[in-house]
């Protein structure tokens, strides 16, 4: 299993486009990669809404490689996406788990099958792999979830500490509207592809509206969150060995340690690989060191689906980062790999830092603090890594602690503080930084909370959602505790550990609903960080990955600008390209967006974006485009969404959705006026 990546193409006669009938008679499209010979083979399933035959056809080499290692591999287009029938009503709908159960049972029933099935995937397919691990499907023998989470409300691209994520709005939530409006592949779906396309355009909702209209933890978020379940039973429902792959520059890392802790508690096998990476394959993600994750995944499935020896490594390999000057496109992060065999590991202790100052610090909140931290889920550029934090630090309340001895931070820290706002609302952003001797400030980890949401989550032991947001009493002190995102870092003597407290984290999160002043009682502040001693350096020999592409920044825009006279700060992004797909497809995609916020009144903010896909097949050229405009003031979000579809340059259909969402504490009802037309 140590061959170079992409070295094993599977013979064309062993790759099959198939359709699998679901329980309700709907047929879902899949591509099956079979090893040569009669079997029996263990089977691996990846199920995604990202169109297997064109937009993510580049995933094919992984499937070919797994098939060459004598696993049967099935790539499935989820219901209502790609070339599958039906309608994609939302992320992770109830019917999706039924469809996946049917698909797993289908794989186990094939004449070449060993009746042992695994699921794997990155992001969306990591999410649904975790979801199926608690469904009690007997044939599901193991899963590998890369960059996925167990709690969609607290740790996804939608909300952070009860605050709407801002920068994410112009990416995934927007481009999925255009992608879901694309037609099935004619060569796969058949002659009725245009009829299916029209039904898809007419009936597929804009997922983003559902997310915007549920700003509180609610059943819509619990669907697909394995942290919770019926009668409060969440992790206890897990039934199969699980491997997690996480990245410290990725947004889906908070589940990392809490999931393996539950596996330990419930006596199930687990494996963890946690590196410095962004939301991209560890084989080529920034920053390195890069590892060939396929090798690790194959070893895990070999052990649990074929009774093989596995990797022979400790249960977990965790990369502990060491300080380095920030760069938006950092290619390599220094550090050391540590082995862990349980969680919490032996030697883990919580160290508290108390401020040396006992004053009350006041801060006039600026809406654009956070631009140096960018977003909390880096991926391919322009979704890069944090910059030097000095610019944002100067507009924050600071607490500094000189580092006197080296120590390794590993896990989730917390900040407890007394804070008050002079208004009925307020956000608190906390950023933990490493200040170098020359003044460079590197972001270690961050946290966020809407103070009106204190007590709204997490749920109680029965899985019930907490109370609704409550307006603050202006001038009243609040005891707040804010969790820091899971991370690793090496604290080095001569450096300074800094906590930067601000009233916003823009453009990562939407700014608060108006001007305000925050005050923090520094005499009561406590920073708690997990420090681990004595973890061994890993004995595991990784197969190196290829590393990041040298031309990744080509054609990419990532701009931050300040309009002095307009009293507004703006950020802008753009990326995309042209590439080939299957069945003669040539795809061109384009993603762009802008966000702005007033430097006078943070309630005045906006986001505008557009995403488009054009696919040229021998049968036709199709194009879909979605656009988004969101504006806010102190009271509401105004949202407009459009999607338009073309065939051979002629407009086929157009939809518009408009809604106003109340953003005042305790008032979360929305009105949704949808206007749509077909040309």
Please list, residue by residue across 29-42, b when 16 or more beta carbons sit within 10 angstroms of its beta carbon and e when fewer do: bbbbbbbeeebebb
Q: What is the pLDDT of residues 71-130, one digit of tens each?
A: 999 999 999 999 999 999 999 999 999 999 999 999 999 999 999 999 999 999 999 999
What is the C-alpha to C-alpha distance for residues 128 and 100, in angstroms, rounded to an integer?
9
Q: Are the beta carbons of 535 and 557 closer than 8 angstroms?
A: no
Q: Which residues pair with 72 in a beta bridge?
A: 43
- Indicate if the pLDDT at residue 459 is higher than 80: no
Q: What is the pLDDT of residues 391-400, one digit of tens each?
A: 999 999 999 9
What is the C-alpha to C-alpha distance for residues 430 and 409, in angstroms, rounded to an integer?
17
- Kindly state the DSSP code that residue 216 receives in the 8-state scheme: S
- Indicate if the pLDDT at residue 463 is higher than 90: no
Q: What is the pLDDT of residue 231?
A: 59
Q: 173-187, 211-225, 369-383 — which one is most confidently predicted on average?
A: 173-187
Domain ranges for the chain, please list them: 15-258, 349-526, 558-677
Q: What is the pLDDT of residue 312?
A: 84
How many other C-beta atoms lie within 10 A of the C-beta of residue 652? Answer: 20
What is the C-alpha to C-alpha distance for residues 245 and 637, in angstroms, rounded to an integer?
36
Q: What is the pLDDT of residue 310?
A: 80
- Indicate if the pLDDT at residue 8 is higher than 70: no
Token pair 């996804």: residue? 156
Mean pLDDT of 616-629: 98
Superfamily of domain 349-526: Galactose-binding domain-like (2.60.120.260)
Task: State the number of CA atoms in the 13 A half-sphere of 15 facing the CB.
Answer: 16
Q: What is the pLDDT of residue 458?
A: 59
What is the C-alpha to C-alpha distance for residues 384 and 327, in angstroms, rounded to an integer?
9
How many other C-beta atoms lie within 10 A of the C-beta of residue 201? Answer: 22
Work out the pLDDT band at 666, boundaries 50, 70, 90. Answer: low
What is the C-alpha to C-alpha distance for residues 603 and 119, in angstroms, rounded to an integer?
44
- Indicate if the pLDDT at residue 460 is higher than 60: no
What is the C-alpha to C-alpha distance for residues 279 and 550, in angstroms, rounded to an integer?
17
Q: Which residues pair with 118 in a beta bridge?
A: 44, 142
Work out the pLDDT band at 277, boundaries 50, 70, 90. Answer: very high
What is the C-alpha to C-alpha distance for residues 598 and 515, in angstroms, rounded to an integer?
10
Q: What is the pLDDT of residue 679?
A: 34
Instruction: Choose between 216 and 306: higher pLDDT.
Output: 306
**Cα 372 to the center of its chain, rounded Å:** 20
What is the C-alpha to C-alpha distance for residues 630 and 213, in angstroms, rounded to an integer?
13
Q: Which residues pair with 661 in a beta bridge?
A: 637, 670
Q: Report the share of the chain in percent with pLDDT over 70.
A: 94
Q: Residue 589: phi, psi to the nearest 5?
A: -120, 155
Q: What is the pLDDT of residue 67?
A: 97
- Indicate if the pLDDT at residue 674 is higher than 50: no
Alpha helices in 184-254 (DSSP H): 186-189, 193-203, 207-212, 219-222
Q: What mean pLDDT is reported for the chain?
A: 93
Work out the pLDDT band at 3, boundaries 50, 70, 90. Answer: very low
In what helix (H) or strand (E) does residue 295 lie, and over which residues does it extend? helix 293-305
Q: Are the beta carbons of 150 and 227 closer than 8 angstroms?
A: yes
What is the C-alpha to C-alpha distance for residues 72 and 109, in angstroms, rounded to an integer?
13
Q: Residue 180: phi, psi to the nearest 5?
A: -65, -20
Question: What sign for the dihedral angle of Cα 511, 150, 529, 457?
Answer: positive
Q: What is the pLDDT of residue 6?
A: 40
Q: What is the pLDDT of residue 234?
A: 82
User: Pairing relation of β-strands 636-647 and 621-632?
Assistant: antiparallel
Structure tokens at 445: 């980890």
Question: Which of 451, 448, 423 lies closest to 364, judged by CA?
Answer: 423
DSSP string covering 358-410, please? -SEEEEEPPTTTTTTT--SS--STTS-----THHHHTTSEEEEEE--S-EEEE
Q: What is the pLDDT of residues 394-438, one digit of tens each?
A: 999 999 999 999 999 999 999 999 999 999 999 999 999 999 999
What is the C-alpha to C-alpha distance for residues 541 and 434, in angstroms, rounded to an integer?
30
- Kindly state the DSSP code that residue 567 receives in the 8-state scheme: T
Q: Is the pTM of this model over 0.85?
A: yes
Q: Is 584 helix (H, G, I), strand (E, B) or coil?
A: coil
- Indicate if the pLDDT at residue 461 is higher than 80: no
Question: Which of 379, 477, 476 lies closest to 147, judged by CA?
Answer: 379
Q: Which residues make Cβ contacts (< 8 Å) with residue 613, sequence separation at least 6?
A: 55, 178, 179, 182, 587, 588, 589, 623, 624, 625
Q: What is the pLDDT of residue 623?
A: 98
- Indicate if the pLDDT at residue 676 is higher than 50: no
Q: What is the pLDDT of residue 2?
A: 36
Alpha helices in 226-305 (DSSP H): 255-266, 293-305
Work out the pLDDT band at 233, boundaries 50, 70, 90. Answer: low
Structure tokens at 203: 């009936």
**CATH of segment(s) 15-258:** 3.40.50.1820
Q: What is the pLDDT of residues 320-354, one digit of tens each?
A: 999 999 999 999 999 999 999 999 999 999 999 99
Q: What is the pLDDT of residue 465?
A: 57
Q: What is the pLDDT of residue 468?
A: 81
Q: Report the share of the chain in percent with pLDDT over 90.
A: 87
Mean pLDDT of 504-517: 97
- Indicate if the pLDDT at residue 286 is higher than 90: yes
Work out the pLDDT band at 670, boundaries 50, 70, 90. Answer: very low
User: Pairing relation of β-strands 496-502 and 427-435?
Assistant: antiparallel
What is the C-alpha to C-alpha distance for residues 347 and 361, in angstroms, rounded to an integer?
36
Q: What is the pLDDT of residues 526-567, one digit of tens each?
A: 999 999 999 999 999 999 999 999 899 999 999 999 999 999
Q: Is 268 helix (H, G, I), strand (E, B) or coil?
A: coil
């Amino acid at each position: 299993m140590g061959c170079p990546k992409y070295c094993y193409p599977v013979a064309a006669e062993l790759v099959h486009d198939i359709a699998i009938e679901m329980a309700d008679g709907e047929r879902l499209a899949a591509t099956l990669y079979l090893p040569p010979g009669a079997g029996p083979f263990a089977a691996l399933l990846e199920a995604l809404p990202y169109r297997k035959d064109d937009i993510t056809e580049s995933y094919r080499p992984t499937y070919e490689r797994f098939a060459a290692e004598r696993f049967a591999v099935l790539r499935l287009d989820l219901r209502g996406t790609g070339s599958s029938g039906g309608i994609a009503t939302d992320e992770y709908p109830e019917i999706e788990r039924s469809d996946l159960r049917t698909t797993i049972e289908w794989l186990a029933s094939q004449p070449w099958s060993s009746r042992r099935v695994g699921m794997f995937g990155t992001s969306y397919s990591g999410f649904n792999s975790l979801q199926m691990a608690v469904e009690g499907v007997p044939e599901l023998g193991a899963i590998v979830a890369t960059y996925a989470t167990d709690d969609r409300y607290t740790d996804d691209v939608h909300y952070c500490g009860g605050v709407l994520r801002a920068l994410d709005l112009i990416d995934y939530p927007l481009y999925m509207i255009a992608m879901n409006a694309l037609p099935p592949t004619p060569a796969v779906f058949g002659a009725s592809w245009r009829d299916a396309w029209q039904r898809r355009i007419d009936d597929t909702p804009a997922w983003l509206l559902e997310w915007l209209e549920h700003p509180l933890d609610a059943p819509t978020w619990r669907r697909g969150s394995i942290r919770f379940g019926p009668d409060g039973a969440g992790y206890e429902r897990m039934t199969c060995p699980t491997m997690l792959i996480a990245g410290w520059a990725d947004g889906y890392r908070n589940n990392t340690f809490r999931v393996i802790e539950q596996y330990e508690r419930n006596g199930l096998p687990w494996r963890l690989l946690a590196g410095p990476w962004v939301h991209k394959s560890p084989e080529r993600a920034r920053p390195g060191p890069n590892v060939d994750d396929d090798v690790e995944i194959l070893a895990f499935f070999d052990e649990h689906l074929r009774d093989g020896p596995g990797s022979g490594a400790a249960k977990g390999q965790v990369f502990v980062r060491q300080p380095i000057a920030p760069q938006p496109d950092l290619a390599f992060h220094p550090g050391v790999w540590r082995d862990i065999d349980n969680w919490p590991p032996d030697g883990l202790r919580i160290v508290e830092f108390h401020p040396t100052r006992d004053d009350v610090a006041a801060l006039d909140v600026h809406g654009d603090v956070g631009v140096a931290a960018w977003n909390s889920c880096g991926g391919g550029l322009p979704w890069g890594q944090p910059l030097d934090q000095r610019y944002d630090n100067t507009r924050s309340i600071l607490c500094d602690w000189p580092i006197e001895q080296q120590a390794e931070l590993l896990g989730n820290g917390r900040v407890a503080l007394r804070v008050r706002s002079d208004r009925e609302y307020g956000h608190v952003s906390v950023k933990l930084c490493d200040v170098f001797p020359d003044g460079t400030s590197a972001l270690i980890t961050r946290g966020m909370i809407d103070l009106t949401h204190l007590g709204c989550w997490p749920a109680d032991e029965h899985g019930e959602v907490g109370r609704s947001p409550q307006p603050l009493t202006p001038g009243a002190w609040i005891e707040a505790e804010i969790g820091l995102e899971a991370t690793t870092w090496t604290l080095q003597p001569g450096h300074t550990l800094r906590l930067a407290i601000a009233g916003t984290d823009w453009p990562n999160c939407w700014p608060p609903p108006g001007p305000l002043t925050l005050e923090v009682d520094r005499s009561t502040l406590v920073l708690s960080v997990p420090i681990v001693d004595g973890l061994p350096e890993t004995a595991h020999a990784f197969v190196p990955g290829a590393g990041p592409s040298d031309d990744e920044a080509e054609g990419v825009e990532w701009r931050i600008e300040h309009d002095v006279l307009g009293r507004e700060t703006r950020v802008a992004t753009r990326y995309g390209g042209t590439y080939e797909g299957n069945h003669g497809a040539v795809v061109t995609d384009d993603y762009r967006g802008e966000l702005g916020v007033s430097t006078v009144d943070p309630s005045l903010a906006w986001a505008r974006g557009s995403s488009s896909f054009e696919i040229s097949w021998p049968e036709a050229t199709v194009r879909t485009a979605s656009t988004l405009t969101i504006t806010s003031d102190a009271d509401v979000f105004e949202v407009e969404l459009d999607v338009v579809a073309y065939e051979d340059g002629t407009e086929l259909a157009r939809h518009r959705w408009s809604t106003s969402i109340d953003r005042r504490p305790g008032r979360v009802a929305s009105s949704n006026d949808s206007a749509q037309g077909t040309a």
